[in-house]
Amino acid sequence: MRIQVTNDDGISSEGLQELVRHLADTDHEIVVIAPDSDWSGAGTSLANSSDSYVNLGEIRSERVTIDGAEHVEAYAVAGAPAYTVVVARLGAFGPPPDLIVSGINAGANTGRAVLHSGTVGAALAGQNFGLSGLAVSAAETADDHPWYWSTAAALAVEMLDLLIEAPSRTVLNLNAPACDLDDCHGVRWARLAPFGTMRAAITTDDNDRQQFELRPSDAVPPPDTDVALLLEGFATITTVVGVTEAWADDSLDVQIDTDDLVPSVRPGADLQPVHRVPDASAPHTLRRPENVDDPTRAEVS
pLDDT digits (tens, 9 = 90+) for 144-170: 899 999 999 999 999 999 999 999 899
The model's pLDDT over 183-218, given as tens digits with 9 standing for 90+, comes to: 999 999 999 998 766 666 788 888 888 877 767 667
* pLDDT tens track for 9-67: 999 999 999 999 999 999 999 999 999 999 999 999 998 875 545 556 789 999 999 99
List the domains of the chain with CATH numbers.
2-191+218-244 (3.40.1210.10)
Which of 1, 7, 37, 2 has its CA nearest to residue 153?
7
The larger pLDDT score, comparing residue 208 to residue 223, is at 223
Whole-number pLDDT of residue 63: 98
Would you state the pLDDT for residue 52?
47
* Cα–Cα distance, 221 to 239 (Å, whole number): 19
Q: SS3 string of 226-242? A: HHHHHHCCCEEEEECCC
* Residue range 167-190: mean pLDDT, rounded: 96
pLDDT at residue 287 tops 70 = no
With a threshold of 0.75, does the pTM exceed it?
A: yes
- Tens digit of pLDDT for each residue in 95-137? 999 999 999 999 999 998 899 999 999 999 999 999 999 999 9
Residue 106, beta-bridge partner list: 138
Query: Given a cut of 60, is residue 289 above it in pLDDT?
Result: no
* Helix pair 149-165, 14-23: axis angle to 10 deg: 50
Q: How high is the pLDDT of residue 196?
A: 61
Strands (E), the chain: 2-6, 29-35, 61-63, 73-77, 99-106, 132-138, 171-176, 187-189, 198-204, 210-216, 235-239, 245-246, 286-287
> What one-letter code names the amino acid at 8?
D
In this predicted structure, what is the pLDDT of residue 247? 75
Q: What is the pLDDT of residue 51?
A: 52
pLDDT of residue 263: 59
Averaged pLDDT, 253-276: 62
Q: Give the phi and the psi of residue 63 in degrees, each rounded to 5.
A: -75, 130
| Distance between CA atoms of residues 251 and 266, nearest Å | 13
